[in-house]
Homo-oligomer: A and B are copies of this chain.
Amino acid sequence: MPRLSEVITALENLWPAARAESWDAVGTVVGDPDQEVTRVLFAVDPVQEIVDEALKLGADLLVTHHPLYLRGTTTVAASTFKGRVVHTLIKNDIALHVAHTNADKADPGVSDALAGALDLRVVRPLVPDPADPSGRQGLGRICELDHPLSLRDFAARAAERLPATAQGIRVAGDPEAVIRTVAVSGGSGDSLFEDVRAAGVDAFLTADLRHHPASEFIADHAHSPLALLDAAHWATEWPWCELAAAQLDEISDRNGWDLRVHVSKTVTDPWTAHAASVTTTENLGAPN
């Protein structure tokens, strides 16, 4: 059985901390390098619900995509919900390791997993990492469909293939537009709008889009339409958990570690229900 320090070295090889954005907080958050690891759980969010799942499962390492503390803290008292997470982890000898923007940029990374879930063929990164000579690492991915689909059909495919959420998929653009190329980015993608424009794709699928950036993005393309698809943040990043778990499985086999590797199926998207407007898409609008 490997020690935590050995497993973390393997995870660091997959997603080197140095590759994370400067504002990010990745790496080991809780855990003793000398403890042994037998069971690992992958999840998107390091919240109490997931920690309780790890505990029930008997995992001694939890790997999440989102940091527990993105900004520094001066307290881990259990009177705070994040401190409660720290107490539960340490009391139960569960380590926590985070791979965030370093996993976004990796090859394969978060957007590769998202593209895979959507059955898209990855062409190249949306924002190639200038430090990567292979040209395959970076944020987001530019993808091709095997055969063209209408926006309506592509949205239906996304709703079907991504993990089910209360929000579903929000779509902007002409439902009959033909989609041949798509940019995808797991998580909040509005900071990549300029790169998407430059890429010349037919659609952009990401999450967490708000009124003003989305409206201006659409308005700015009146003459060269570019569709937007907005999925639940959690749903766009969950496919990476399966990819990452498979990568660690393979490493475990290679090293004879005999790790048990799991992927959490708990939905940590905050939205738990949805109420549709009473009118149909055709007669949307303000009340008469």
Contact = CB atoms under 8 A, between A and B. Distances in A.
A142 to B, nearest CB: 22
Contacts of A151: 273
Interface string A207-244: 11111101111111010000010101110001000000
Contacts of A217: 270
A246 interface: no
Each complex incorporates copies of this chain amounting to: 6
Given A211-B208, A222-B81, A228 B171 contact: no
Given A74-B25, A87-B32, A215-B45, A284 B173 contact: no
A211 B269 contact: yes
Contacts of A168: 274-277
Interface in A259-287: 263-279, 281, 283-287
A127 interface: no
A137 interface: no
A274 B73 contact: no
Nearest to A190: B210
A156 interface: yes
B163 A170 contact: no
B265 A273 contact: no
B272 A175 contact: yes
A108 interface: no
Contacts of A76: 29-30, 76, 86
A73 B69 contact: yes
A281 B165 CA distance: 8
Contacts of A285: 163-164, 265-267
A288 interface: yes
A90 interface: yes
A211 B230 contact: no
A212 B218 CA distance: 25
Interface string A90-101: 110001000000
Contacts of A123: none
B272 A172 contact: yes
A285 to B, nearest CB: 5
A169 B274 CA distance: 6
Given A159-B276, A214-B270, A266-B285, 17 more contacts: A67-B74, A159-B278, A163-B284, A163-B286, A172-B273, A175-B272, A175-B273, A187-B211, A208-B210, A208-B211, A211-B234, A218-B270, A230-B271, A238-B286, A264-B286, A267-B286, A272-B281
